[in-house]
Amino acid sequence: MFWNKWTVGAAVAAMALATAACGGERAARTSKAGEAAAVPVQVAKVTEESIPDEYEASGTVRARTTSVLSARVMGYIREVRVQAGDAVRAGQVVAVLEAKEVESAVRQAEASRAEARSATPEVNNAIVAARAQLDLANSTHKRMQSLFDQKSITPQEMDEATARQRMAQANFEMARAKMSQLEQKIRQADEAVAQAELMKGYTQLAAPFAGMVIERKAEPGMLASPGMPILVVEQAGNYRLEAAVEESRLSSIRPGMAVRVEVESLGKSVDARVEEIVPALDAGSRTFTVKIGLPGGMLRSGMFGRARFAGGHSQALTIPLAALVEMGQVRKVYVVQGGVARGRLVTTGTVHGGRIAVLSGLSAGEAVAAPAPVGLVDGGKVEVRQ
């Protein structure tokens, strides 16, 4: 087939029209996409206002009272009746040791005491008999003395009566001495039994107060020696936040001072008071430890907390909390100007009533996207809405 020049010209014209039409459609789509890229935002002004001047210190929740239950005698561990996390009552037996030497000492002490007590009736009878002999000797001596004064008996008979009196007195004193010795022996036996019972009591470890087991350090079958830790128990409902306070801030903090404490894992804050300021400085961090009393509840040792100490008021720039965008340790906001959002890094301070202080990165009167919508990027077009 042969094409004439008119046919070829028509074909070229048709292709040109088609290309122009496609180009127009692409341009239209690009234009519409550009219009769709404008993100609707609400803005808030950066304002300067008077806010409470607060100092924040982080710390760790600790139990006010913690007890390490350790073995006090040598012996194998027979039982450990609790696990870490278990609640315990005051006086509850939580571990038992097997100490055969202690049990043997108890039996021996009880046997010695029983033997001493069994001799008491015999010694009492000896005292009674010696008393009777002494009374008789005294009466006889009295009569013999009267007869001797009347010259009715010889000096030898008088001497014999005196000797019998003295012998009876000596026998009586000896019987009483035996009773004293026996009583001393019984007292010593009682003390030995008490000591043995005390040592036997050491084979049972009891919780010193109501609380919670926070660590189990030994298992049944292990040989425990005196001083070996077996369990660690902390007192329930009695916690403090131990916060590290900078050396330069210590002069503004005093015992009894009101503090706001936030425990991160619980997601709430509580009113508390400073109970103690440890006078020793940590040379490495240049901080002092401030102990803040906390109410009970769901607190546990090791939780992370922040303490906020009040210190008057100061002027500061603030923005809504919703304007912040957090990326790890970095915080930024989007400043809106001329229909464009510009990301800007900021340094922030304390939070007050839904607004946060801005220490650097913004100027008063600037507008920031609040809240910052998802998908907003640096340099992106925005449409400000009321």
| Residue (of 42, 196, 41) closest to 108 by Cα position | 196
Percent of the chain at pLDDT above 70? 91
Q: What are phi and psi of 296, to 5 degrees?
A: -75, -140
Pairing of strands 304-320, 258-263: antiparallel
Residues ≥6 apart with Cβ < 8 Å to 371: 42, 320, 322, 323
Burial (CB < 10 A; 0-12, 13-18, 19+), residue 244, is: middle
Cα–Cα distance, 375 to 11 (Å, whole number): 47
CATH number at 56-64+237-313 = 2.40.30.170
Centroid of chain to Cα 158: 87
- CATH says 40-51+315-384 is which class? mainly beta
Instruction: Tokens 């870490």: give the residue.
Output: 84
Q: What is the pLDDT of residues 172-229, one digit of tens each?
A: 999 899 888 888 888 888 888 888 888 888 889 999 999 999 999 999 999 999 999 9
| Residue (of 295, 218, 305) closest to 265 by Cα position | 305
Find residue 60's DSSP bridge partners. Answer: 242, 304
Q: Which comes out higher in pLDDT, residue 353 or 301? A: 301
Cα–Cα distance, 161 to 380 (Å, whole number): 134
Q: What is the pLDDT of residues 314-357, one digit of tens each?
A: 888 999 999 999 888 899 999 999 899 999 999 998 788 789 99
Spatial contact of 291 and 238, defined as CB atoms under 8 Å apart: no
| Residue (of 69, 67, 66) closest to 224 by Cα position | 69
Q: Enumerate the domain spans of the chain.
A: 40-51+315-384, 56-64+237-313, 66-99+203-236, 100-201
Residue type, 55: Y
Give the residue-averaged pLDDT of 289-300: 87
Residue 26 has pLDDT above 60, yes or no: no
CATH number 3.30.420.140 is the correct assignment for the domain at 66-99+203-236: no
Average pLDDT, the chain: 85
Two tokens at 12? 């070229």
Residue 28 has pLDDT above 70, yes or no: no
Spatial contact of 315 and 49, defined as CB atoms under 8 Å apart: yes
100-201 is classed in which CATH architecture? Orthogonal Bundle (1.10)
Q: How far is CA 23 from CA 12, 20, 373, in A?
A: 17, 5, 34
Instruction: Place 168 in a pLDDT band, splitting at 50, 70 and 90.
Output: very high
